[in-house]
Structure 1
Amino acid sequence: MPSDLQKKLQLVTAHRVVRNELASEIIENQSLFSELIELCFQFSNKSAPKAFWILELICYEKLEWLVPHLDFFCSNIKNLTHDSAIRPAAKIGLLLTISHFKKKEISLTENQLQQITETCFDWLITNTKVASKCYSIRALHLLGNHFNWIHPELKVILDKDYNNHSAAYKAVGREILKKINKQK
């Protein structure tokens, strides 16, 4: 029997107003957050990508709520296959790396940093949508300030793939390559 949250997720559409409504409801009732995380990774559930849409919106305001779930989140994002789930997961990965390295609000373990790194590289070199690749590039740039091997690897991939991608990918690629080259 589906829970109330599962029923609401089934009714969610891509319209931002609809997604915001459910995200606001969960922000007002934090006890639903753990269930939302679980639903994100129920790969057999057709609403799992929708759960990720909602999770992304919540993370903009309440990223700290993810802290008790970081091991679960970081170890499972590599298993995502649906582009509609990968894009928000990539954005959340970027938000986590920004919070860890720039804002110093959320502390990620070495293992979590490695899991995010591996997953971002996977998304970057496989056939995922451009938004996921762009979020991954930005996250990897930040992670490269911690793991010194990342920037050279990222540079090779960006140089090699640059001409085969969209304007958005090229814009992010140019920006990050400029930053990497400036750090030398």
Structure 2
Amino acid sequence: MTTPELYQELSYVNHSREKRLYYSNLMIDNPHLVPKLLDILFMVDDKISPRAAWVFEFMCSNNINTIVPHLDIFTKNLHKVHLDSAVRPVAKICELITTAYFSKTDHKIQKALTKTHKERIIETCFDYLINDEKVAPKAYGMVALFLLGTEYDWIYPELTLILERDFQMQSAAFKARARHILKKIKKNTSY
């Protein structure tokens, strides 16, 4: 399947679990298609880009190790994604990556995730919190940053500052997640 053919196929993807599952399994069964999916995902101004992001998120949710060969491309380009419906799944993938990386269960990602990958995720997740994003990317970013804060000691003070500063202006969902993360930070540190 060529990139244009895959692009055409993705026009059939919608929010239904059935469609996302079908196409994520197609990617898992045909790993040579994943770079093409990422090419489409990173056509950041295109209306099909979010559909590629939904499929990629579903693929990563099913098996996070499927992202390992694509960590460079994903982390190098994730900051470019700006359409709301594509930002949410990309942010979720950042959370999935960091959750797997810090998991007690063995994952290939634990050996594959480099300092550069982590720094790109950190930068993008802080951007989610600082910029005018919806609640879901902010919440996923908080979790990723909390986990990465166990390795990078400068993250917790910055994250705490942003969460406390923005707390009153944000939605109930943001406040709930921020309270949870702040409580975990306080438990892990002396901030």
Deviation readout 1:49-97 (Å, 9 max, x if unpaired) = 1100000000012221211111111111111111111110101001111
Q: Does 1:157 align with 2:146?
A: no
Q: Does 1:12 align with 2:13?
A: yes
The list of structure 1 runs, each at least 4 consecutive aligned residues, that deviate by more than 3 angstroms after superposition, is none
Take 2:31 and 2:103, find their aligned partners in 1: how far apart are those partners? 26
Deviation of 1:102 (Å): 2.1
Deviation of 1:162 (Å): 0.9
Within the candidate set 130, 150, 170, 1:145 is matched to 150
Take 1:142 and 1:34, find their aligned partners in 2: how far apart are those partners? 28
Take 2:12 and 2:171, find their aligned partners in 1: how far apart are those partners? 32
**Shift in alpha-carbon separation, 1:2–1:118, aligned structure 2, 3 A:** closer
Question: How large is the RMSD of aligned CA atoms in angstroms?
Answer: 1.5
- Specify the SS of the correspondent of 1:13: coil
Range with bigger deviation, 69-78 or 36-45: 36-45
* Corresponding position of 2:59: 58
Q: Does 1:131 align with 2:136?
A: yes
Within the candidate set 110, 118, 122, 1:117 is matched to 122
Take 1:109 and 1:23, find their aligned partners in 2: how far apart are those partners? 25
* Corresponding position of 1:31: 32
Structure 1: gaps of 5 or more residues? none
Deviation of 1:18 (Å): 2.1
Take 2:3 and 2:147, find their aligned partners in 1: how far apart are those partners? 40
Q: Percent identity?
A: 41
Counterpart of 1:130 in structure 2: which amino acid? V
* Corresponding position of 2:96: 95
